[in-house]
Structures are given as C-alpha cells and as structure tokens.
Amino acid sequence: MKQLLAFLRQPRNLAALSAAMMLVGYMVFLIMANYTSQMDLQRSAASRFEGEERNLARILSRFFSEKEKEVADLAGSRTIAIYFENKALGMTMAYGLRASIISIENRFKAFMGEERLGNASVYKGLILQDQSGHPIAAAGETEEIVMILAHWNDRPDSGGEGPRILVKPGDPLPYAVIATPCRFKGAQVGETAALVDMEAVRRHFLTSEVPAVRRRLVLDLENAGNSSPSEPVRAANAVSTPLLSYSIPVQGTPFDLVTRVPASRIYGETRPDRLLLATATLGLLILGTAVYFVGMNARNRILQAHLKEATAREAEIEEKNLALDRYRLNLEQMVEERTLELKKTQKELLIKATEAGRAQMATVVLHNIGNAVTPAMVHVEQMKIDGLEKIVFYLNRCYEDLKAHTEDLGAYITRDPRGKEVAAYAETLIRELGTYQTDRLRVIEEVHAALSYVAETLTLQQSYGPETARITETADLNQLVEDALLMQAGTLQQGNIHVNKVPAPGPLLVRVERNRLMQTLINLIRNSCEAMDFPDGSSPERRLQIKTFKAHDRVGFEVTDTGIGLETDSEEDLFEFGNSRKGFSGFGLTYCKEFVEANGGSISLTSPGPNKGATARVTFPDPL
C-alpha cells in the first residue's frame, strides 16, 4: 500500500494512471454502445426481412390475380364463343364444327406460348370442357387439369362466378389450376381451365440468391378452393432461434408463402451478448498488449540499433561487392588484352620459327652441297699436285739425250749402256703417263659425280622452293618419301642410322601442298633422328622405318624410330608450340600438326614408353 502511495506521489505516474483509467472507461463506454447498436440492428434486419417477404407475397398475389384475369379473358374470347355459336346453330363435328375446335386449340397453343415466366411457359396445359365435364378442346398436359377439376367439382361448395385457383392438396405443389366458367347468352356452358406450372413460379419468384433462404408456397387448407382474405403473419421470430420461419398469406389465393431462414442470415453470425463478451475480451487484450509493448520498447530500441548496424554493414558489403565487380570487369579486360598480346607474340614466334625452319632447310641444303663439294675440291687439289710435270721433265730429258745421239741413235740405244737405260726409262715414263691418265679419269669421274649430286640437290630443293608453296596438287606419297630420305641422306649416314622403307604398292596419291608435306616428312625424319641421340651417349641399335599405307579411304605414312620414346601422357603436348624432346624450338611438330589438319588429315605421336621408340602417324583423305 505504501509502495502504491509512493508510486502515486510521482506526478508523472499519477498522470499515466489517470490516462489509463480514462482509457479503460472510454473503452467500456464504446463496448456498451456497440452492444446496444447491435440489438437495434438485429431488430431492424428482422423487420426489413419480414417486409421483403410481405412484398414478395403481394407480388405473388398480383401474379395470380393477373393469371386469373388472363384465363377469364380467354374463356370469354370470341374464339370460344364461336364454337358455342356454331354448336347452337346445330353444326356437327363432321361438317364445320370441328373448325371451331381447331381454332380454339390453336388459340390455346398461342396462349401457352405467349405467357411466360423467364424462359418457361406459365401454363403447361389448357382445356375447355362442357357442363358435363366432357373435354371439347385441349392443348398441352390435361390429365392433371381433369383430375384437379374432378376433385374440386365433386365438392358441394364448388363453382362460382369468377375464376378460381384450384390445387390438389399435397406438398410440394407441382401444379395449380385456374378454372373459370364459360358463358354463352348468359348461361354457363362450360369451363376453361389452365394448368399453372408451379415449378416455374417457384423458380421465378421463390428462388433466393441466398441459398440458405428457403421459400415455398403451401396450401392453406382453410382458404383452398376459394380466394378468401388473408390471415396475418403467423410465425414469429426470436433472437435465440437458430431457424426463423415466416408464413404470409398470398392474398386472393389458397397459398401461404412460407419462408425459412437461418437466424444468422438476419442477425449476423454473432449474438450481441457474445459480441459484448468478445469486445470486452478484446479490450482487455489491448490493455495487456499495451503494457507488454511498453516493456518491449527498450528491447525494440536495442534491436533497432542492431538493425541499423546490420543495415550499415550490408551497405558496406554491397559497396565492396560493387568494387569487386568493377575489379572483375577490369581483370577480364586485362586478361583479354593479355590474350591478344600473347596471340600476337605467338604469331610473331610462328613467323620467326617459319623463317628459322627455312634457314634450317637452307643449312641442310648447304650441308649437302658441302658434302658433295669437299671431296671434289680434294680431288681438284690432288690434281694440282700430281706427277705430270715430273714425267714431262723426265721425258724431255730422255728426248734431249736421244736428240744428242741422233746420228748413232741405233747404236746408242742398242750398245751404249746409257742409251739402253734411256730407252728403258722412256718406256717406264710412258707407262706412268698411262697410269696418270687412268687416275685423272677416275678423279674427273668423282668430281663429275659430286657436281651431279650438287646439281641434283639444287634441282630438288628448287622443286620445294617458295615459288611453288601453297599450291595444292596430287603427289605420290612413295615418291615424296624417297625424295625426303634422299634429302636427309647425309644426316642419316652421319648418324649411322639404318633406314627401312616399307612402301605401299603402286603410286600412293595424296592431294596436298607438296612442298609443305615434304617439310613435314623432313621434320618427322629429323625428329626421329634426333630422338635416337640418347642423352647418356649410349648407342643402341639406330633404326628408322618409314611405311606408307592406304586403308579405309585414308592414305598416309608412319615414321617409327628406336629413340628415347615418350611418356604416355605427353603425346599431345608435343604438338604444342614450344614443347620439344630435345630442347629445340618445338616448332617442327607444331608445324606438322598445323599443316596436316589444314589439309583434312590427322597426325598422332605414340610410344610404348620411355626408351622404347616412337611412331608418328599421318593420314590424309584418299583423293580417289
């Protein structure tokens, strides 16, 4: 208690408590006002619904009244009157009277077609019968009419001056009959009756848009058969009733309009007292929640601070992500530029390598020419220092000696000892001269052979020269192999390499750039030759096999060596520019691959393993 007083002494707390009390009071006021309004609304809704049903009963009353008038008009129509007139004249069915009946029936059919409720016809059948109940003319369904008329005409109070609505008791009411007397010259001569389709009436008037509202017409037995005045609404309602029922007489008919409707459709789903309870509960919940939220306020602030911090961090991360994106874009651009530079460098290297290849090829040519020229020079030098001058000198001396003894030349040769030696020496010199001639002829032959080889090499080299490059032509692969081996003869001989040729039979035609294929062959042969120079200086058997073949629409050749072989996983790498088994530029195989694939061929390099040799296989499409 003391604590409470202490709490209230604080002006701020007192003000807050006062405000809370006022709030609670205002809430109670609102709840009570809402309860009172709900009760008023319910009474108003019930009253309005009842008014609507009464209005519907009036509409039905007017509808049946109109139908009675229509049937009465039909019964008094000229069409029906003509029949009775002709009958009164004595006309018979066989001769003329039937025409009147046909007219009546046509009129009935037209009448049924004219009177409609929506898409449905109001009348299902019509009948005209005479006073004794015999049918004269009929249209549509007449069995029900006859039955209902018979039922009511048997009653003592049946009959009447005007139209009547007749219904056979039962529920539901499928049909009702509107019967009206026919008169001719003031006397009743028959009755016209129309069968009303009550189902059509129900569909048109009684069907509610709200499925829960059920309406039907029931027969008011006290008024059945005559159009007596109505009774008041008989059923009432109560707030606590789950199902409300209204029974309203339809004026001028034997029907009551009975409507059943769930109370919730009128009063709402919730009763006012329950709504009061719910609203009060809601008020308490709101108060409790308010208290709770005050407590939550501090925590909310902390959470908001955290949220703010998280937002800032998120923004920072976002900024960094943007920077990363920018960096990535720059990186991609740089990679692209570097790639372009690399491609440019590769192209330059390729050009340089091509030039180096050409220089290498020129070196090979010069080497081959040198190989041929050197022995020729030796022979020429030998020819310079040969003994021909000495022989000539000694022959001149012999000639001078013999000239001096011209006078006694015979005795000098035959008897003088010096003369005998001169003769013998001259013979020796003549034989030496013969030998010299033989040697000179041999040297000339060798020089000739060397010069021929040089000429042949030059001719061969010229045939693969640049002026014929890039021209596709048909060449014999066997011949190309022969030429390549001939061009590499010096290298092969120098390397002490035994060559084994396995040519395919006949000419093996291939359509390629001839000089580049030659370069490819030479590159592969040289590659094999180099592969057989083992790093440890060992010198196993050095064999090179070149095989040409034709199989499955392909022609090609294989160059197999007994060299250092390949690692099984490095076969493809060797075709890449810069890869070499021997430390060279690595252009040779790259060149080969580029050329072969450019000409629709394929190239592969296989090996059983290190130090087990390797095979280069090249194939091209068979041009035939």
Applying CB under 8 A, which of residues 5, 94, 238, 298 lies at the interface with other proteins? Answer: 94
Alpha-carbon gap, residue 19 to 369, rounded angstroms: 122
Nearer to other proteins, 103 or 230 (CB): 103
Which token pair is 96?
């003329």
The region of 18-26, 86-94, 370-378, 578-586 touching other proteins under the rule CB under 8 A is 86-94
Establish if 128 lies at the interface with other proteins (CB under 8 A).
no
Applying CB under 8 A, which of residues 65, 103, 245, 264 lies at the interface with other proteins? Answer: 103
Closest CA to 529 of 560, 568, 573, 552: 560
Applying CB under 8 A, which of residues 4, 5, 89, 210 lies at the interface with other proteins? Answer: 89
Shortest Cβ 145–other proteins spacing (Å): 22
Applying CB under 8 A, which of residues 15, 102, 351, 424 lies at the interface with other proteins? Answer: 102
Nearer to other proteins, 86 or 208 (CB): 86
Alpha-carbon gap, residue 555 to 549, rounded angstroms: 6
Nearer to other proteins, 78 or 384 (CB): 78
Establish if 109 lies at the interface with other proteins (CB under 8 A).
no
Establish if 186 lies at the interface with other proteins (CB under 8 A).
no
Shortest Cβ 104–other proteins spacing (Å): 11
Contact 73, 182 (CB under 8 A): no
| Residues 46-85 interacting with other proteins (rule: CB under 8 A) | 78, 81-82, 85
Establish if 509 lies at the interface with other proteins (CB under 8 A).
no
The region of 63-71, 101-109, 152-160, 331-339 touching other proteins under the rule CB under 8 A is 101-109
The three-state secondary structure class of 418 is helix
Nearer to other proteins, 85 or 571 (CB): 85
Q: CA 113 → CA 8, 87, 140, 527, distances in Å?
A: 88, 28, 11, 111
Alpha-carbon gap, residue 232 to 248, rounded angstroms: 7
Establish if 86 lies at the interface with other proteins (CB under 8 A).
yes
Which token pair is 398?
């012999």
Nearer to other proteins, 97 or 349 (CB): 97
Burial classification of residue 15, based on how many CB atoms lie within 10 Å of its CB (0-12 exposed, 13-18 middle, 19 or more buried): exposed
Applying CB under 8 A, which of residues 54, 58, 69, 98 lies at the interface with other proteins? Answer: 98
Alpha-carbon gap, residue 178 to 243, rounded angstroms: 34
Phi, psi of 184 (to 5 degrees): -140, 120
Nearer to other proteins, 106 or 462 (CB): 106
Q: 417-463 vs 477-487: helix axis angle to the nearest 10?
A: 130
The three-state secondary structure class of 255 is strand
Shortest Cβ 108–other proteins spacing (Å): 14
The three-state secondary structure class of 415 is coil
Phi, psi of 504 (to 5 degrees): -75, 150
Phi, psi of 118 (to 5 degrees): 65, -125
What are the residues whose beta carbons fall under 8 Å from the beta carbon of 362, sequence distance 6 or more?
Answer: none
Nearer to other proteins, 105 or 416 (CB): 105
Establish if 235 lies at the interface with other proteins (CB under 8 A).
no
The structure tokens 């009063």 sit at: 267
Count of chain residues binding other proteins (CB under 8 A) = 20
Q: Which residues bind other proteins (CB under 8 A)?
A: 78, 81-82, 85-86, 89-96, 98-103, 106
